[in-house]
Chains A and B, each alone.
Chain A
Amino acid sequence: MIAVYLLLLIPLAGMLFLSRVRDSHQAGRINIRFNSLSLVASLWLAVDVLLEGPILSHSQMLYIDSFNVYLIALTAFVGLTTSIFSGPYMAHEQELGKVGKKRLRLYYTMYQGFMLAMYLVLTTNNMGVMWVAMEGATLATVLLVSLYRTPESVEAAWKYFILCGVGIAQALFGTVLLYFAAEQVHGIQETALLWTVLHEHASSLNPGVMSIAFVFLLVGYGTKIGLVPLHNWLPDAHSEGPTPMSAILSGLLLNDALYAVVRCKMLVDGSLGNHQAGNLMMGFGLLSFLVAALFLHRQTDIKRLFSYSSIEHMGLMTFAFGIGSPWATFAALFHMTTHSLTKSAIFVTVGYASQLAKTQRIEKIRGLIRTQPSIGWGLLIGTIAIAGFPPFGVFASEFLVLVATMNDYPWLTPLLLIGIGIAFAGLFRHIQPIVYGDVPEGQTAIRANMLPVMIHLGIVLFLGLAIPAFLGNWFNQATLLISGKLPL
């Protein structure tokens, strides 16, 4: 129980503390410390939940079950590794004169602020607070997107701000409707926004209201997930912000938005008793998956490229959650993990690559394997992994998604097949020339700390080969929670 409070207090303290640290190098190190602290706390929490099952705080404001606890651990882990990467990276950016001391201070403060918002989204039991935290995450990152103050970055930040703001507002409307529907049920007036309570009485919530509410929630949080056609902010924000930012945006924020949607879906399913919510999610997911796959082909900016790949994968997960069968749910949960690990690792590598080539333009970066093998291989392996090749974990989840789809919606499988083919081609036609080939002049090796990448890819590889028992147990429990059945 204490672990939860720690989890929320540590980033808060970090935020306050970092806001007054002037030396940026030191700030980087402190940032790492705080993140490792919260990782410890999250692991502690994970152990608790593993041993005692779901935890509900006395005020009922916080609720940890097997679904969000592994997301918490994941968030903490990615947060830590990314902070390890971002220290030297931002220092290098500072040497290049892209950012000043003050902005770096803002950066580190907001880093912790963002983590705080993430933890809050995941731990809270109150749909309203979840909304608040989600909006808070936007506000925390919006200034980081425009950190470089280039026209593009400002534009990206503005779009990010407005679009997510509007979207999130709709989510709030959905929440209001949720609350309203709950109030109609007698006996839960004062606790009507608590997820646990809602889930308990899901069957007695009014279907009409719930379905409207879900539309607003889906469009609202879906904007954050980056579902087509609400995705437009995502590539801009990813490509223009500092790379660590892109890493945690892709690796964490999208996951948590999806988490929120799934929580809502569980309520709506309980109330409607039909597959409407699932169908909506499948539709959005498939659309995002296919469109993003096509977008991949026309990218000229390497970070944009991978942000579209993020959209594609989020689409796949949304689709899988939409199917809702145990296999699909298991796959989606697993995919959340592997994707955020792999994608953040890739963004780290991409950050180094663009620093090394002094540009983000794809056609300017060539022959990485010759310039700096570690980065070249990192990028290549990462891409192979994200493209869903075994023995990397991403494959396992994509495999299960395909099989599950073949089970329930066989006529959709051709679309998935085509999508995966197109996506792979789009991704790889850009990456292979970057990695292989001859080196352009002026491209020199840099000091790069590939440890985070290796750790991430190592874990993903391991997960692809074997899922340890406790993790499998987690996934099974979460699957049971969401889909109501155990896979096999």
Chain B
Amino acid sequence: MAITELSHYQQAILLLASLIVLTSFLMLGQSRLLRLVFIFAVQGILLAITTALAADVLDSPHLYISALLTLTLKGIFIPIMLQRLVLNMGLHRDMETLPNPARVMMGGTGLVVFSYYVCLPIVKLSPLITLNTIAISMAVVLLGMLLMITRRQAVAHVVGFMSIENGLFFAAVVSTYGMPMVVELGIAFDVLVAAVLFGVFFFHIRSSIDSLDVDQLNRLNEVEK
């Protein structure tokens, strides 16, 4: 069925999905850390909105909670923490330019197509058009990994990691209307702890190789010396 025939809720979902992918792409292309963090925050907020929307329409109250969690964690707490770190460590000045952004972007779009192709069997599963969003969320996950592969900044890695989480979360919301509450809470807790640990680790890494460039973390290898 065409988008025109969908309810506004569904249309909104699709819109948000596309926005989220957009944010992922923006992150991929972004060279300044502060902006990266900012875009990440936007993504988190978008995710929260989506969850809230779903909660409203499906009137499943526990989704409100998870929406709230998402907002506080992904939308506010983690970005602010990252921003603080960046500022404290004075990383906001140095900008990391990709070797050639165009190719990375192309790769990203390729990933989107690929995940769509992979998800086709799922999409065929039921008339529910929102299922396409699964493809989107998988794309977000893969884009997050791509971000981690292309960036040398530890902070960027954290952002990528978190945006992978966003993708997962998005998938959970749109395809299954949210996981069971206990799982949601567990995941949220894990993410929180992870975020804190990241904070701790930045200082450890900083103190061991006075920078956050992960390419310098290559003492442990098996290559011919």
Is chain B in direct contact with chain A in the complex (CB below 8 A)?
yes
117-141 of chain A: CB within 8 A of chain B:
126, 128-129, 131-132, 135-136, 139
Contact of B190 among A61, A132, A180 (CB under 8 A): A132
B224 nearest CB across to chain A (Å): 9
* In the assembled complex, A24 has its CB within 8 A of some CB on chain B: no
Whether A126 and B138, one on each chain, are in contact in the complex, defined by CB atoms closer than 8 angstroms, is no
In the bound complex, do residue A298 and residue B222 qualify as a contact, i.e. CB atoms below 8 Å apart?
yes
Residues of A within 8 Å of B157, CB to CB, are 162
Residues from chain A with a CB closer than 8 A to the CB of B209 are 151
**Quick check: is B193 within 8 A (CB to CB) of the other chain?**
yes
Q: Give chain A nearest CB distance to B12 CB in angstroms.
A: 21
Q: Are A169 and B125 in contact (CB under 8 A)?
A: no
A126-B183, A136-B190, A149-B204 are contacts. A209–B217 as well, Cβ < 8 Å? no
What is the CB-to-nearest-CB distance from A268 to chain B, in angstroms, rounded to a whole number? 15
Is B161 an interface position by the 8 A CB rule?
yes
Q: Is A295 an interface residue (CB 8 A)?
A: yes
**A212, closest chain B residue (CB):** B118
Q: Known contacts A158-B205, A173-B171; decide if A129 and B186 are in contact (CB<8 Å).
A: yes
Given contacts A139-B197, A161-B197, contact A209 B164 (CB under 8 A): no
Most buried by B among A139, A155, A170: A155
Residues of A within 8 A of B172 (CB): 176, 179
B165-182: CB near A (< 8 Å → 1, else 0) gives 101100110011001101
In whole angstroms, what is the CA distance A126 to B182 when docked?
A: 10
Q: Mark B187-225, 1 if CB is under 8 A from A, else 0.
A: 101100110011011001100110000100111101000
Q: Could you show 16 A-B contacts with beta carbons less than 8 Å apart? A: A126-B182, A128-B183, A129-B182, A131-B187, A132-B186, A132-B187, A135-B190, A152-B219, A154-B205, A158-B205, A159-B220, A161-B198, A162-B161, A172-B187, A179-B179, A206-B125
**Is A478 located at the chain interface by the 8 A CB criterion?**
no
- Closest B residue to A193 using CB positions: B180
Is the beta-carbon distance between A139 and B122 smaller than 8 angstroms? no
Tell me whether B201 and A169 are in contact (CB under 8 A): no
In the complex, what residues of A have CB within 8 A of residue B200's CB? 143
In the complex, the answer to whether B208 meets A173 with C-beta atoms within 8 Å is no
Closest to A134 in B: B190
Is A142 interfacial (CB-CB < 8 Å)?
Answer: yes
Is B121 part of the contact surface with A, judged by Cβ < 8 Å? yes
**A157→B201 contact, CB < 8 A:** yes
Against A, the Cβ 8 Å flags (1 = close, 0 = not) of B103-127 are 0000000000000001101101110
The digit string for A149-191, where 1 denotes a CB below 8 A from any CB of B, is 1111011111101100110011011001101100110000010
> A166 contacts B164, CB within 8 Å?
yes
Q: How far is the CB of B1 from chain A (nearest CB, A)?
A: 19
Residue contact A146 to B182, C-beta cutoff 8 Å? no
Question: Would A176 and B182 count as touching, CB distance under 8 A?
Answer: no
Question: Is A239 interfacial (CB 8 A cutoff)?
Answer: yes
Q: Which residue of A lies closest to B183 (CB)?
A: A128
Chain B, interface SS category: helix
Residue B85 at the chain A interface, CB threshold 8 Å: no
Tell me what chain A mostly uses at the interface: helix, strand, loop, or mixed: helix
How far in angstroms is the closest Cβ of chain B from A366?
22
Cβ-defined contact, A176 with B176, below 8 A: yes
Contact between A176 and B194, CB atoms less than 8 A apart = no
Asked if B217 contacts A139 (CB within 8 A), the reply is no
Interface pair B190/A159, CB less than 8 Å apart: no
Size band of the interface chain B makes with A: 35 or more
Q: Which 6 A-B pairs have the closest CB atoms?
A: A128-B183, A132-B186, A208-B121, A151-B208, A155-B217, A236-B220
Q: How far is the CA of A426 from the CA of B138 in the complex (A)?
A: 41
* CB nearest neighbor in A for B172: A176
Docked pose: A139 CA to B165 CA in angstroms? 16
Instruction: Kindly identify which residue among A61, A146, A149, A240 contacts B220, using a CB–CB cutoff of 8 Å.
Output: A240
CA distance A61 to B222 in the complex (A): 43
Q: Which residues of B contact A152 (CB under 8 A)?
A: 219-220
Question: Bound complex: CA of A68 vs CA of B194, how far in Å?
Answer: 28
Cross-chain contact B161 with A156 (CB below 8 angstroms)? no
Contact check, A151 vs B219: say whether CB atoms are below 8 A apart.
yes
Q: Do B205 and A156 have beta carbons less than 8 Å apart? A: no
In the complex, whether B148 has a CB less than 8 A from a CB of chain A is: yes
Point out the residues of chain A lying under 8 angstroms from B14, CB to CB: none
In the assembled complex, which residues on chain A have CB atoms less than 8 Å from the CB atom of B138?
A: 173
| Distance of A204 Cα from B153 Cα, bound (Å) | 46
Interface string of A213-236 (1 = CB under 8 A from B): 000000000000000000000011
Structural contact, B168 and A176, CB atoms closer than 8 A? yes
- A155–B183 Cα distance when bound, in Å, is 31
- Whether B125 and A184, one on each chain, are in contact in the complex, defined by CB atoms closer than 8 angstroms, is yes
A154 contact set on B, CB distance < 8 A: 201, 204-205, 208
The CA of A156 and the CA of B165, in the complex, are separated in Å by 23
Select which of B125, B145, B190, B208 is within 8 A of A208 by beta carbon: B125
CB distance from A45 to the nearest CB of B (A): 22
- In the bound complex, residues from chain B placing their C-beta under 8 Å from that of A235 are 220
Q: Which residue from A155, A169, A193 sits with its C-beta under 8 Å from B208?
A: A155
In the complex, which residues of chain A have a beta carbon less than 8 angstroms from the beta carbon of B124? 208
Residue of B nearest to A170 (CB): B141
> Within the assembled complex, what's the spacing in Å between the Cα atoms of A136 and B194?
9
Q: A136-B190, A176-B172, A190-B180 are in contact. List 7 more A-B contacts (CB 8 A).
A: A128-B179, A129-B186, A132-B189, A143-B197, A149-B204, A209-B122, A212-B118
Q: Are B222 and A239 in contact (CB under 8 A)?
A: no
Which of chain A's residues have a CB closer than 8 A to the CB of B186?
128-129, 131-132
> What chain A residues lie within 8 Å of B164 (beta carbons)?
166, 169
CB pair A180–B176 under 8 Å, yes or no, is yes
B167 to A: closest C-beta gap in Å:
8
Chain A 194-220 residues near chain B, CB threshold 8 A: 206, 208-209, 212
Give A403 to B141 CA distance when docked, in angstroms: 42
Q: Are B204 and A146 in contact (CB under 8 A)?
A: yes
Say yes or no: A172-B168 contact (C-beta < 8 A), given A139-B194, A158-B201, A209-B122: yes
Partner of B222, one of A132, A151, A176, A295: A295
